[in-house]
Structures are given as C-alpha cells and as structure tokens.
Amino acid sequence: MALRPRDIVELPAPFAARAAQGAAWVREQGAAGRAVTVVHHIDADGVTAGAIAAEALARTGVAARMRPVKSLDQHHVDQLVAEDHQAFWFCDLGSTAYMHCPATPKLVCDHHQLVRDGAEDSFPHVNPLLDGLDGGEVSGAGCCLAVALALDPRNVDLLPIALVGATADRQDRPLHGINALYLAAAQKVGLVDAAVDLSFFGPETRGLVKFLTLANEPAIPGVAGDATGAQRLLRDAGVDVDAARTWGDLTEPQRRAVRTALVTRLLDAGLAAEIPRLWRTVVRIRREPRGPTRELQEFGTLLNSTARYDRPDVGIAVARGDRGTMLEEALDLLDGHRKHLVGALDALAKKTVRETAALQWVDLEDAVRDTVVGIVAGMALGSLGLRQDKPLIAFAWTPDGRTKVSSRAPQQLKGRIDLSVAVREAAAVVAGQGGGHPGAAGATIPRGAEARFLAALDTTLAGQLGLASPTAAPAAPRGPSRQAKLAV
C-alpha cells in the first residue's frame, strides 16, 4: 500500500484540503511546462519555507527559480510584476499581496494576517487563519511542508526543516497545534529527539559558562552576566568547567543537578514566578552532528545570518542539506551577524527610548541593518530593562531611502494587543504598508513620516488597551540599561 500524507501526520481536514489543492497546483505547473518562482521572505522561517518549496519542486521535476524579498510592500510587488515570471509560489508571505498579480498562476503558503476581499479562496491558499486556526501554531515553512507532503509523502524527511522555521518564529513556547503534530511525526519516524530542558540559547555550541551567563529569559541572580558566579554554580553542582564543554555534552544527571541549582537560586531570590520561563522543549535533529545545525533554535539563528545579509542562496543551500562550502560560508556570516547585533545593541543602549501613552519607541537610523532591526528590538525588549507594559517600536533606515518599522510586544501584553492590525493601519495612514503577527509586526513607511505613524499607532494601541486618548506630547524619554551585550 502506498504511503499517504495522513499516515505521517493527521492534519486538520480543512488545512489538509488546502495543502492538497496546493499540490495539485504544483503538478499543473509542471504539466504546463511553467517554471515556478519561489518568492520567500528573508528571515529563517522564510528561508526554510523557500527551501522546502525548492526541494519539493526539484523532486517533482518542476523547474524552479528563487526570489527572496524583504516584504511584499508595493515597492517589491512592483519589482515582481515587472519581471518575467510564469508562476509564483509565495512562501511565508503573500496573504496580503496576492491581488497585485491576478494574471499569474499562484500558490500562497503563509501564516500571517491576511486580506479578505472575496478572492482569497480563488487560488490555492494555505493559511491556517482561513480556517479559524491559529497563525502561531504553524509557520510559513510548516504551510509549505503540508503541500510537500501532499505532493509526495516521502518528503517526510523535510519535517525537521519545517520545525526549524517554527522555532525561529518563536512558536516553540511551546510548539502547539499543527507544529505539535509535526513534532510528534518527526519523533515517530526517528528524525528528531525532543525533551523539556533549559530554555537558554546555545545548548550545542556555547561553552557552559557562556551558556549560563548570557541567558536572560529568565536572568538567574548571581549567574546572568557573572562568569565567576556561573563557574561556582557549576562546580557546586558537580560539573567540571571546561571551555569546550557544552550543555549537550553533559550527562542527564549532571544537567538535572544544574537545573535544580538554578531553580533553587530563583526560589532563594523570591522569583518563583520566573521558574516556568526556565523550560522549553529542546529539539535536536538526529542526523546532524554537534554544531549549529543540530538544535532547532541554533539552526534558525544560523539561517537568519544568511538572507538578512544578502546571501539567501547560502541559507537555502544549507536548509536543503549542503554541509560543505555553503555551511562554511554560513558560519562566517553567523560570526558577522553576531558582531552586528553587538554593535546594534550598543547603539540602542546609547539612544533615548521615548514613550507615548501606549508605546515606547527608538529611532536607530543607520546604526542597524533594516533586515535585522526586528531581532534587535526583540533582544532589547528582553534585556535592556525597558518597560514591559508597552510594546517597543524601532525604526531603521532602508537602503532605498525609506524607513523600516519593527514592533515587538512584551509577554505580559500577549492577548491584549494586536500589533499586526495596529501597525498595518498606522502604516496606511502615511502611505506605507505593514502587517505580521499580534506580538510582532513590521512595516515600511516613507522617510520623514515617523511622527505621523507613531501618532496613528499610539491611538490604535491605546484603543486596544482601553487607555484614555493619547496626548500629543510624548512622555519624558528614558534611557535603557547598559546590559545590552549580555543578550548576544
């Protein structure tokens, strides 16, 4: 009996039906002799989504062309329309811009907020929001994987790459919904191992002391930012400190002893409420050796260092399995990525963070690449002592003379605000375009329109939070903590 997609993972019926429509569309393009242009976002989810699409097309015998984009604002849409494309497969974007290319055959695999204009179901469109599902339960890569599995169940080997995309999009706290189904399937067929462990970044690549001292979600008193304190805690837990030793190198009894010591430290400091933040499901890809492609978070960070720095070809190749020259290039890019983030966070620490009634904001101008300002904003919100009752809005200049906007919501505002709606509406006021997720959204607006954008955004967010109408004058500025480098 032939293997069927549902033999691997039983997806929700409406979502599975959409994936089957997508697979039929791919076959139609192949039968018509059309080359499919894979239009993908440049973050790690977009890269993994593009890689899954490219691999699925190659295995089906359909010609493919890769086309990375920062966004699908009018500027990028105009570029696509002006180019010679026979068919589009939009990956990790497209649900707000499909109407701009009505004459071109298209498939959209996206999980962001979408436009409902009556035409959203007139073409193969795989987006969980269309069926009342959660956009946080499956990534753009996961939407592409559903199509790949419908094309050929043997594409099951791409499951780990979809999980990398989900984790890079911060859908791993915890993996739920369709992502949880994918994880269970990947475990069942022996592709990954998963266990609840410390939430800290770098279990496979960071030395033990760095692994503990750089962790700030949550920050452990006497350990975060304190190498001597971290060494003392490790020794007291019976773990020998070796610069080359990683968390992944420890035995389970050793890890248990360290975890117990960390919990005790939080309890002694009266921070019991922080203990749940210690844990996440850590997933490792079984076929990968120790290094940055083994654990999902680290793999996602590696991919983020490629397309965001103008080398999408490197990220796509690594996601598709290249472990030779392209991996070496990716590692070099990762080193540059880390250095850029250090500089960007240092620049932010020197800036004034200003407040309005419902938000806090900072203008980084040309101190940070527009492709990573969202990462910097997220790191700053978690490590610079900024307010946790207001979202952070960060501006950065784009090379073409516009301004990139990135917004991040603190954990305590989850479920209370929807940045995707607020940013999209505020961007429209200044002839810009935006969108994203409730907790993280972005936009591109004309340079010089920042003040009007902020005023519109402040009004919308104040309404979402039930605050009094914002005043015209912003509150007094406040400077962030100088602990920026701890987050890198």
Q: What is the pLDDT of residue 484?
A: 37
pTM: 0.89
pLDDT, residue 485, reads 36
Query: Percent of the chain having pLDDT more than 70?
Result: 95
Give me the pLDDT at residue 470, please: 67
User: How much is the pLDDT for 274?
Assistant: 94
pLDDT at 471 (0 to 100): 54
5-189 and 345-487: identical CATH topology? no
Between β-strands 279-285 and 192-198, what pairing exists: parallel, antiparallel or unpaired? Answer: antiparallel
SS3 (DSSP) at 274: helix
pLDDT in tens, 457-479: 999 999 999 997 665 444 434 44
Which parts of the chain have pLDDT scores under 70?
1-2, 469-488
Residue listed under structure tokens 């005790």: 264
Which residues are CB-neighbours of 308 under 8 A, at least 6 positions away? 42, 43, 337, 369, 371, 372
Written as six digits, the tokens of 476 are 């007094």
Per residue in 111-157, pLDDT (tens digit) is 998 888 889 999 999 999 999 999 999 999 999 999 999 999 999 99
Structural domain boundaries of the chain? 5-189, 192-285, 345-487
CATH code for the part of the protein at 345-487: 3.10.310.40
Q: What is the pLDDT of residue 469?
A: 66
pLDDT digits (tens, 9 = 90+) for 300-326: 999 999 999 999 999 999 999 999 999
Classify 443 as helix, strand or coil: strand
What pLDDT is attached to residue 100? 87
Amino acid at 250: L
pLDDT digits (tens, 9 = 90+) for 365-387: 999 999 999 999 999 987 788 99
Fold of 5-189: inorganic pyrophosphatase (n-terminal core) (3.90.1640)
392-415: b or e for each residue (b if 16 or more CB lie within 10 Å)? bbbbbbbeeebbbbbbbbbeebee
